[in-house]
Structure formats: C-alpha cells, structure tokens
Amino acid sequence: MKADELLDLACFEAPAAQKIPLLRDALAEESRHHYDHNDFYRRLCDKNEFDPKQGLGKLDHLPFLPVGFFKKERLLSVPEKDIIITLKSSATTSGASSMVAIDKITSQRQAKAVIKIISEFIGKERRPFIFLDDPRIAGSREEGLTARGAAIRGLAWAATESHYVMRYQNDPYDVMIDFPLLDNAIESASKSNAPIAFYGFTFIIYSRVLEALEKAGRRFCLPQAHLIHSGGWKKLASLNISKDAFNERVERFLGIPKNRVIDFYGLVEQTGTIYPDCEAGMKHSPVFSEIIIRDIQRLESSPNGKEGFIQLVSPLAHSYPGISVITDDLGVILGRDNCSCGRKGTIFQFRGRASAAEVRGCGDVMAARVGA
C-alpha cells in the first residue's frame, strides 16, 4: 500500500515537490478504500462531487469530516471482527467522546509513525521513559484507550524501561505525584547510558507535578533528559500560562533545559501523526501528512499567514474514514521547507481553540459539506 511506502521514507527530508505527489497518491488509494467500504464516507464524497476513482487533483479537494462526527457514531471501513481496540478522545463540554475503531493495519501504521517522528526530535536510540501518569491510563484493549493512553502506548515502543509515577483514586484527571515512585524511577532510569525521556499530559504536568514539586520544595537536575507533553493548553490558557512560562517551570523544578521540552499537537482521530515543536518553535508536517488551513467563515483553503481552522490529511487510517479531518482548533501556516531547524515540511503554529461563536458560525457550512 502507498501509505506504507510513505512510512518507509525519512519524515522531514522530502521537499514539497517530491512529497505532495506521493502523499496525493496514497490519499487517493485510501479514499477509494473508504468509498467502497463505508456508506457514510461514500455519501460525503458524493455530496462534494468527489469521485476517488478519478484520483485526487489537489489535497484541499479531498472531502473532510469534522472531528465532531466521530462523537456521533462509530465509523468503520473494515469488518467489526478486524477491530482490535477503540480509541476515545477526552470528553468535551458536551460529555461526548470521539470513538475511533482501530484494526491491525492502522495500529501498525500509527505505531511506526509516532516512533519515526519522535525519534527525529529526541534521537533514534531507545531510552528509559518516565510517564507522568497512572499506569491504568494505558488501559486495556477491552476498555478502549483515551488520547492520553494512546500517546503512552505509542511512546512506550521506544522505551527500554517504563515507569509510572502518579496515582489516582476515582477521577483519572485527579492524579497525584507519588514521590517515592518518582525518586525510584529517576534512580533506575539514570543507570542507563541513554538520556531519560518524560511524557505527560500538559495540564497534569503543570497542575499536579510542577505545583507539587514547588510545594514540597523539591528540585531535580536532569540536563540530558527530554520532556515530551501534549494536551490541556485550553485550561492553561484560561490561567494565562504561556508556553514560555510552562517551560521555565519545567527547567526550574525538573532541571530539564527549556530547549529539551517538546510540546506536540495531535488528534485521537489521527493517532500516530504528531506535530512536535522544533528548535525554532515551529511544527512541521511529516512526509505522510499535510495541514490545510480553512477560512473560519467559508471553510475555503486559506493562504499562508492567515489564521483559520486546522484540517489534517493523512493516509494512515485504514479502519475508519479519518484520512481528512477538520478541527475546531485554530492555526496558521508560516511557510514550507524553509524552517531554520533544517527540517522539510509545511511549517505551522497552533493558535488555540476557536470560540463557540466561531464554531457555530461555520456549522451550517460544515453541515452542507457533509450532507448532515
């Protein structure tokens, strides 16, 4: 399959002229699969007068699904018997979670993608991981996985040893740091020849780890470690906590240099494809993914430099029609193949969540696009 061929390429070395034709062919192939095996996706394509059997001209011609549609129904493009796990997003104010069904093909692609991407930022050698979470978050295949659990499982493939240093009683978001576990984990991981990598959910790190360390008067010195984190920026923004302020507190209490703190953006609806910050503070689309920014009012593709809704396209999803999804997140494209870090790919910044008014304002346009 062409998606698997893309996964064999280096993540950030192909310029747009080489990448886009390969990505377009892989998306067209997966689009044909979903058209033939998913009634909802077929109706979406027909509504948008898109025939995947005719190929794909431009990437922004590919019909998109709003992420909210994954909260309404379980969309399958393979037999139910092929599903090995279901991923769940964090529930929003509506109380609903996205339900994303994963088969073996999709799972293997996702695992390979996340390891290839993260290796570009922390190095290719396996290393000890300290997960700033409760081990139960990693879940079971029977219960399904949250976005936090999916991220942990994906990164655990790169771990020589895994440590979990937090616990919760009833509420998975009310996790507390266990200092003896943390001390033992750091002592054990420090015996490795490879640097330590920490991973956690952004808001939990800030509110349950860094604040606990400050209250206890504890500090560590881990200049060779990396901290990888994702999710929760909406809550931190409401507290007026910037990315710089977050990184400074990490350096102060964990002793991890600010330039080794890596924030990444990603969706449970496209698990595996993550977008970490590079050294210049930019996010890059890898060779097997692309970002499109759409105008908030009309949902037309926007030029570089204009803020709008983030649409992500990637051919990795085989078990469900998640190859093109539009979010209620805001972002802006700043360039292509010209970042000072040297990595190729579309360069963009995540600007935060859209307001309720902005989402409502484009709701009728979205509904028309998907035939709702």
Same domain, 233 and 127: yes
**Nearest of 369, 316, 370, 326 to residue 30 by alpha carbon:** 316
Q: Considering the domain boundaries, does residue 92 fall inside one?
A: no
CATH number at residue 56: 3.40.50.12780
Same domain, 170 and 239: yes
Give the mean pLDDT of 196-207: 94
Same domain, 31 and 140: no
Q: What band does 45 get if pLDDT is binned at 50, 70 and 90? A: very high
Q: In this predicted structure, what is the pLDDT of residue 154?
A: 82
Q: Considering the domain boundaries, does residue 272 fall inside one?
A: no
Q: Considering the domain boundaries, does residue 76 fall inside one?
A: yes
Q: How many CB atoms lie within 10 A of CB 67?
A: 22
Q: In this predicted structure, what is the pLDDT of residue 370?
A: 64
Give the mean pLDDT of 82-99: 73
Q: Considering the domain boundaries, does residue 178 fall inside one?
A: yes
Same domain, 260 and 290: no
Same domain, 115 and 235: yes
Same domain, 233 and 126: yes
Same domain, 232 and 293: no
Q: What band does 369 get if pLDDT is binned at 50, 70 and 90? A: low
Comparison of pLDDT for 96 and 201, the residue scoring more: 201
Q: Considering the domain boundaries, does residue 287 fall inside one?
A: yes
CATH number at residue 217: 3.40.50
- The alpha-helical segments, DSSP class H, found in 134-174 are 147-156
**Nearest of 97, 96, 95, 94 to residue 86 by alpha carbon:** 97
**Nearest of 269, 300, 291 to residue 362 by alpha carbon:** 300
Same domain, 129 and 250: yes
At which of 238, 265, 292 does a domain end?
265
Which of helix, strand or coil describes residue 324?
strand
Q: How many domains does the chain have?
A: 2
Give the mean pLDDT of 187-201: 94
Say whether pTM exceeds 0.85: yes
Same domain, 50 and 116: no
Q: Considering the domain boundaries, does residue 17 fall inside one?
A: yes
Give the mean pLDDT of 312-326: 97
Instruction: Write down the mean pLDDT value for the chain.
Output: 90
At which of 239, 265, 291 does a domain end?
265
- The rounded percent of the chain whose pLDDT value lies above 90 is 71
At which of 216, 232, 265 does a domain end?
265
Q: What band does 232 get if pLDDT is binned at 50, 70 and 90? A: confident
164, 124, 4, 150 alpha-carbon torsion, rounded to 10°: 10
Same domain, 224 and 301: no
Pairing verdict, β 283-284 and 346-353: antiparallel
Q: In this predicted structure, what is the pLDDT of residue 74?
A: 87
Q: What band does 96 get if pLDDT is binned at 50, 70 and 90? A: low
Q: Considering the domain boundaries, does residue 104 fall inside one?
A: no
Q: Considering the domain boundaries, does residue 87 fall inside one?
A: no
Burial 287-326 (b: 16+ CB within 10 A, else e): bbbbbbbbbbeebebbeeeebbbbbbbbbbbbbbbbbbbb
Same domain, 118 and 190: yes
Same domain, 345 and 253: no
Q: What band does 71 get if pLDDT is binned at 50, 70 and 90? A: confident
Pairing verdict, β 83-88 and 65-66: unpaired
Which domain does 144 fall in, by range? 109-265
